[in-house]
Amino acid sequence: NAGVTQTPKFQVLKTGQSMTLQCAQDMNHNSMYWYRQDPGMGLRLIYYSASEGTTDKGEVPNGYNVSRLNKREFSLRLESAAPSQTSVYFCASSEVGGDNEQFFGPGTRLTVL
């Protein structure tokens, strides 16, 4: 099992460009999450999907959109990238409920110039 996979691993964008970060899990989990990690600020939740067909905003959703394509895949889209979105992005998955172990992908390091 690959667990949680993310693509790409690295990306450099110019301000105003758009891109989609891909995430897939092979653990048959219902819940999936997108976090961003910035120095000194820990992991902040952008969006999550409690189950297929549902998505909810997290702590820092502005400037992002998500799509729960199917049970395996959860993508994060930046429509018009800004330098403030320079960060490391992590996708995670878990069984339903906030008190189950979350399994994280390896992350995508995004730089917006």
Partner 1 sequence: GENVEQHPSTLSVQEGDSAVIKCTYSDSASNYFPWYKQELGKGPQLIIDIRSNVGEKKDQRIAVTLNKTAKHFSLHITETQPEDSAVYFCAARYTGRRALTFGSGTRLQVQP
> Which residues lie near partner 1 (CB under 8 A)?
4, 31, 33, 35, 40-45, 48, 50, 56, 58-59, 90, 92, 97-99, 101-102, 104-107
Residue linked to tokens 């600020």:
41
Minimum distance of partner 1 from residue 70's CB (angstroms): 20
Cβ proximity to partner 1: between 15 and 54 the closer is 54
Cβ proximity to partner 1: between 65 and 102 the closer is 102
Q: d(Cα 53, Cα 69) in Å, to the nearest integer?
A: 8
Query: Which residues neighbour 89 within 8 Å (Cβ) at sequence distance 6 or greater?
Result: 6, 21, 34, 35, 36, 37, 46, 76, 107, 108, 110
Cβ proximity to partner 1: between 63 and 106 the closer is 106
Minimum distance of partner 1 from residue 26's CB (angstroms): 15
Beta bridge partners of 110: 11, 87
Minimum distance of partner 1 from residue 99's CB (angstroms): 4
Residue pair 77/18 in contact (Cβ under 8 Å)? The answer is yes
